[in-house]
Amino acid sequence: MRRAALRLCALSKGLLPPGRGLTQGPQDPRKQGHFHIQEACSPIHVNHVRDKLREIVGASTNWRDHVKVMEERKLLHSFLAKSQEDLPPRRMKDSYIEVLLPLGSEPELREKYLTVQNTVRFGRILEDLDSLGVLICYMHTKNHATKMSPLSIVTALVDKIDMCKKSLSPEQDIKFSGHVSWVGKTSMEVKMQMFQLHGDEFCPVLDATFVMVARDSGNKGPAFVNELIPETPEEEELFRQGELNKGRRIALSSASLLKVAPSAQERTTIHEMFLSTLDPKTISFQSRVLPPGAVWMETTKLKSLEVCHPQERNIFNRIFGGFLMRKAYELAWATACSFGGSRAFVVAVDDIMFQKPVDVGSLLFLSSQVCFTHNNYIQVRVHSEVASLQSKEHTTTNVFHFTFMSEKDVPMVFPKTYGESMLYLDGQRHFNSMSALEILRKEHPVDP
């Protein structure tokens, strides 16, 4: 707590950079955060995002044509650059987009986004963010020599999604904005923000960072993307932050509990938890009892199964990443509500790695589990795996991490096995990755 208080004090004095969460209060979405757009930008309708993506890629709206279309896309291979130097550099403003979700002005659209609590479904927002992130990258890599893009751009990672305290109303318009903020050789970081209309001004609701990768026209191997040239000090800072984010992700991967042992402090935490569950009457390592007000981690699981139909395919005829995120989120939300015994609110989403694409026709198995709790916060992990109808072999495709806040304090979860202990520590790491300012501001996040 002392460390959190010191960070919050430093933030208030401007000694530290702001957290990933957005600040409260009315904002112009074109001037929010570090990025400034000088030119006027007419927002496109949210329903037109997928249409634009199909047009850029040349995807068919009919499933029966998907094989033919994918074969035709292979002919675009000759338009791929041999090196990054062969591509014209781009500016951040070149990829800037605004998208309007007119919940207030188009009531017929509202039903798709409505929860039973009369709020906005966050799972639908995840779908919209995923589509927008891909479109932003196609704007950055636009090739004027061909009508269709030779690139296959896919979501590699959801680095972070942070919520502001304002809940979402289903009766007010929502606006998304975003642009490419960092570029490697074949990958791009995309910053996106979301605002909702309050009175006559748009107020910030969400801040997201996605990482996209470019592949060749057949989606078989990596492809080069245009270099990004920052033009202002603010843009240079954004680009520098992208470099830091890349370094952080590499460091976190190297320190993964799947690769290295827990730290000394983490080992002490697990050992103390183990000792607190020993039955003092038996003086045995085999006899385990729960401390008062605690639950075993193994009892917090929920599972679901989805049949991946063609309706949920993306423009490359794999299952849409936004659909996977929505299904994982809704299962995680149900897990948090069931565990906490009250309504749960999303606080943050982070470190969603898309390890393997999901084919149409696959069986999608989702397993959700509470892996860490703190006061009224619940950290939920969702493991996603697929199997074909013919094969019994399951393959991991995604691991999702969600942080929820319950309306009341929740029990502690205790691991029984070494594997569960690693899940507990991993959940603790994800929870601790939120800044003190973000945690203290999460008073009224949004519903599922």
Range of the domain at 173: 40-255
pLDDT at 2 over 60: no
> Strand, helix or coil at 447?
coil
Look at residues 225, 255, 285 and tell me which one is the last residue of a structural domain: 255
Taking the model in full, what pTM does it have? 0.84
244 and 392 fall within a common domain: no
User: How many angstroms separate the CA atoms of 90 and 96, rounded?
Assistant: 11
Q: Token digits for 95?
A: 């990829």
> Residues 269-323: pLDDT tens digits?
999 999 898 887 777 777 788 889 899 999 999 999 999 998 888 888 888 999 9
Q: What is the pLDDT of residue 10?
A: 31
Q: 344: buried, middle or exposed (CB in 10 Å: 19+, 13-18, 0-12)? A: buried
106 and 245 fall within a common domain: yes
> Residues 224-240: pLDDT tens digits?
999 999 999 999 999 99
Phi/psi for 30 (5° steps) reads -80, -10
> Which of 65-69, 74-78, 239-243, 384-388 is predicted with the least confidence, judged by mean pLDDT?
65-69
pLDDT at 98 over 70: yes
- More confidently predicted of 217 and 435: 217
235 and 342 fall within a common domain: no
Give the closest residue to 162 by CA, choosing from 338, 13, 24, 8. 24
> Residues 353-408: pLDDT tens digits?
898 889 899 999 999 999 999 999 999 999 999 998 887 789 999 999 999 999 89
> Which of 14-23, 124-133, 158-167, 188-197 is predicted with the least confidence, judged by mean pLDDT?
14-23
**Is residue 263 in a domain?**
no
Percent of the chain surpassing pLDDT 70: 87
Q: Are strands 294-296 and 412-414 parallel, antiparallel or unpaired?
A: parallel
Look at the chain and report how many structural domains it folds into: 2
pLDDT at 41 over 80: no
Could you give the residue ranges of the DSSP H alpha helices within 341-417? Answer: none
115 and 237 fall within a common domain: yes
Q: Which stretches does DSSP call E strand in 22-145?
A: 44-45, 97-101
- DSSP annotation of 215 reads E
Q: What is the pLDDT of residue 78?
A: 84
53 and 196 fall within a common domain: yes
What would the mean pLDDT of 202-224 be, rounded to a whole number? 92
pLDDT at 426 over 70: yes
311 and 184 fall within a common domain: no
